[in-house]
Amino acid sequence: MKALVTGGTGYIGSHTCVELIQRGADVLIVDNLCNSSPKVLDRIEQITGMRPAFLQADIRDDEAMSAAFADFAPDVVLHFAALKAVGESTAKPLEYFDNNVGGSLALFRQMQAAGVRKLVYSSSATVYGDPSHCPIAETAPRSAHNPYGRSKLVTEDLIADLSLPGGPLQAAVLRYFNPVGAHPSGRIGEDPRGIPNNLMPFVTRVAVGRSTKLQVFGADYPTVDGTGVRDYIHVQDLARAHVDAIDFLDRTGSNLTVNLGTGRGHSVLEVVTAFEAASGRTIAWEIAPRRAGDVAQCYADPSLAHAMLGWRAEFDLARMCEDAWRWQRGNPDGYA
């Protein structure tokens, strides 16, 4: 199998490339490196013994992309490339729509021109907006509360229209909940630029002394201890689901939209406690005001992914923390 992976040097894409290579796929990564390092390629090679082919290009660069499709002739496209910072998307909405929606459209055009139908798309639990109840099933209403969320929602809708019978695509839309953790080798992991927006990378940076104190955004939510509850999912479990999704597309000829989560929610303070146990470090924290746009709780009903793919998350929060810590401890400055 030949897999063209957009955004493949990024956090989730790099872990998925390792899984693809280990399951025998030929991989071409297309990434403009706007949020990742080319050193990821060395690390993937160290883990797998194979260096994926790499094209540094923007997915909106039609000339580069059409050459890539012609030369590589992929069987499937895994589409991770996107900008993903919620706050930044509010400040730069056009940039987000251009990159995430425009980039996806440009990619789908290239796929159609090259006759490549199979697509695995990185969607997000963000499409559920402020969920009215948890666990969230795929049938729950969707809404967008910021340009990032809308870019994911609109792209889902484009894919739905393009993958109707007779349409150019056959698609697996994967709605990730909160991806955390790292490859167990400690060679690849999450390395956000600047101050991390997300909880786990912030916690790991406190543990290595790159940040002094975690701010816990809100302790007055109607949750187990007042702090926000999320469905953290190990990036290795996510990576495996992508390969399972390709098998599904091959096996059934059908489309698919599924949640990828564990089905369990954990509060911010539960994450801090689990990380302290895994790392042996103390994480300094203080209660801060709620962060605008945050919901009290969000966790998945992952049963459809199990029914359709035979997939189930294997790793628990303790393991997510252990692997995140191994990566951060071994690479205190990330890929720098």
Radius of gyration (Cα) for the chain, nearest Å? Answer: 19
Q: CB of 121: closest distance to ligand NAD in angstroms?
A: 8
Extract long-range pairs of 83-91: CB within 8 Å, 24+ residues apart: 83/34, 83/35, 83/148, 84/35, 84/148, 85/148, 85/197, 86/126, 86/146, 86/148, 86/149, 86/197, 86/293, 87/197, 89/146, 89/147, 89/148, 89/149, 89/151, 90/146, 90/147
Among 69, 177, 275, 299, binds ligand UFG (CB under 6 A): 177
**129 binds ligand UFG per the rule CB under 6 A:** no
Residue 35 interacts, among ligand NAD, ligand UFG, none and using kind-specific CB cut-offs from 5 to 8 Å, with: ligand NAD
Residues 285/272, Cβ–Cβ less than 8 Å: yes
Q: Which does 199 bind (CB under 5 to 8 A by kind): ligand NAD, ligand UFG, none?
A: ligand UFG
What whole-number distance in Å separates Cα of residue 280 and Cα of residue 195? 23
Interface contacts to ligand NAD, rule CB under 6 A: 6-7, 9-13, 31-36, 58-60, 80-84, 99, 103, 122, 124, 176, 179
What secondary structure letter does DSSP report for 102? I
Closest CB 282 distance from ligand NAD, rounded Å: 26
- Chosen from ligand NAD, ligand UFG, none, partner binding at 269 (C-beta under 5 to 8 Å by type): none
Residue in this structure with the two tokens 């790159």, named with its chain if needed: 210
The binder of 146, among ligand UFG, ligand NAD, none, by C-beta within 5 to 8 A per type, is none
For residues 9 and 267, which CB has a smaller minimum distance to ligand NAD in the complex? 9
Nearer to ligand UFG, 169 or 206 (CB): 206
At 285 the three-state DSSP class reads strand
Does position 228 interact with ligand UFG (CB under 6 A)? The reply is yes
| Closer by beta carbon to ligand UFG, 150 or else 230 | 230
Q: How far from the centroid of its chain's Cα atoms is residue 24's Cα?
A: 22
Minimum distance between the CB of residue 295 and ligand UFG, rounded to whole angstroms?
A: 8
Beta bridge partners of 136: 300
Options 78, 101, 125, 305; binder of ligand UFG; rule CB under 6 A: 125
Closest approach of Cβ 325 to ligand NAD, in Å?
A: 18
Q: Which amino acid is at 101?
A: V
Q: How many residues bind ligand UFG (CB under 6 A)?
A: 21
**Amino acid residing at 233:** I
Catalytic-role residue among 121, 148, 221, 299: 148
CA angle 14, 20, 22 (to 5 degrees): 105
Of 33-41, 61-69, 153-161, 213-221: span binding ligand UFG (CB under 6 A): 213-221
Residue 128 annotated in active site: no
Distance CA 3, CA 80 (A): 12
Q: Would you tell me which residues interact with ligand UFG (CB under 6 A)? A: 84, 86, 124-126, 176-178, 197-199, 202, 214-217, 228, 230, 268, 291, 294
Task: Point out the residues that are catalytic.
Answer: 148
